[in-house]
Structure 1
Amino acid sequence: MTTLLKVPNLTKEISSELHFMPAEIQYNGSANVKSYFETNIRKKSENKMTASLRGRPLHGTKFEVPSGYTGVIFNESKKSVTEDDERELTATGSFDSFNYWNLDREPSHGDRLHQALTWIDIAKALHSPVDNSLSDSQGSLKSEASI
């Protein structure tokens, strides 16, 4: 299966709030989130908030996209019928923050989203150039590791 990503000039930032929810919603289309969900969001502190979805408690936090990265929203413009069909996704907007929600517990660094985005810092450290100005103690450690 091939996935084609079309990324036109992304100057359009999403003006409304974005929400990452712990739910699978069997619906594709627009929804009046501002009237039916955002009206019941209660702020607990600067970054922490609570809400409910169909009577279930949600705990949320505002999540910033890591520095140097941009969040992109894609819409599938060519629907695939089978798994082997080519998929075509078109970028429709960009964002730099979103509201991240957990069901029944506060978001933490143990959540999969936080752990996945931690990999960005790890990958940067692994792939950045090595500084040649190592001190003697670090230099001897480097030569021992290469043996």
Structure 2
Amino acid sequence: MSIYIDSKRLANLPATDIHLLPCEICHNGDGNVSTYFKASPVQPSTRYVNNTTGAVETVSSPPASSPSPNLDYSVSSFRGRPLCGKRIEVLDGYKGVVLKESNKPFSEDEDRVLSVEKRFDSLMYWKLDGEPSSNDVFIKALDWIDIAESIHGYAASEEPETPSSVDGLR
């Protein structure tokens, strides 16, 4: 079985907003996100230990040196539950795409064809139980891309694979 990606439309697609929510929504397809899901940019909070009381305290107001909020962090709510989000850029050398399979195969041995439906340059990663951090499984998984490139990447003297030499492209 091979998987083919039909990327003919990729160059003409405008970038779209992608949200990764910590829940399951029983809907596949477009949604009117901008109407029903409002996000407010905020500064990431700073946690510190109060030397007088020993308690861990959080400062959520922006420091005086940055008058405008950081657009990489946002807060919102979904169905009454508070969410904290962080914008994550697509890594250099990669393209963020949403794929759609129009014809499901009848067996595992059949070839599959996926088409590019949306393109994105960044995504908003939302977390329910606190601010996104470098310890989150999703963010750690993105670190593996750099690690895999270091392990399996080509040396400067080698030629990279061209799209025509990679199996599975049409």
How does the TM-score come out when normalised to structure 1?
0.74
Report the number of matched residues.
129
Between 1:62-71 and 1:9-18, the stretch displaced more is: 9-18
Match of 1:91 in 2: 116
Match of 1:135 in 2: none
> CA–CA distance in 1 between the matches of 2:15 and 2:94?
18
Deviations 1:22-72 (A, max 9, x none): 1111112322111001xx311112111110110111110111011111111
Question: 1:109 aligned to 2:128?
Answer: no
How does the TM-score come out when normalised to structure 2?
0.65
Question: CA shift at 1:75, angstroms?
Answer: 1.4
Q: Is contact 1:13-1:95 (8 Å) kept?
A: no
Q: 1:59 to 1:104 in 2, by over 3 A?
A: same
Percent identity, please: 40
Q: Is contact 1:13-1:94 (8 Å) kept?
A: yes
Unaligned runs of 5+ in 1: 132-147
Q: Is contact 2:21-2:127 (8 Å) kept?
A: yes
Structure ranking higher in helix proportion: 1
> CA–CA distance in 1 between the matches of 2:42 and 2:25?
26
Match of 2:80 in 1: 55
Deviations 1:89-131 (A, max 9, x none): 2112322111111112111111122111111211222234399
> CA–CA distance in 1 between the matches of 2:142 and 2:19?
17
Question: 1:25 aligned to 2:25?
Answer: yes
- Paired residue type of 1:102: K
Q: 1:103 to 1:87 in 2, by over 3 A?
A: farther
Cα RMSD (Å): 2.5
Match of 2:99 in 1: 74
- Paired residue type of 1:115: K
Match of 1:12 in 2: 12
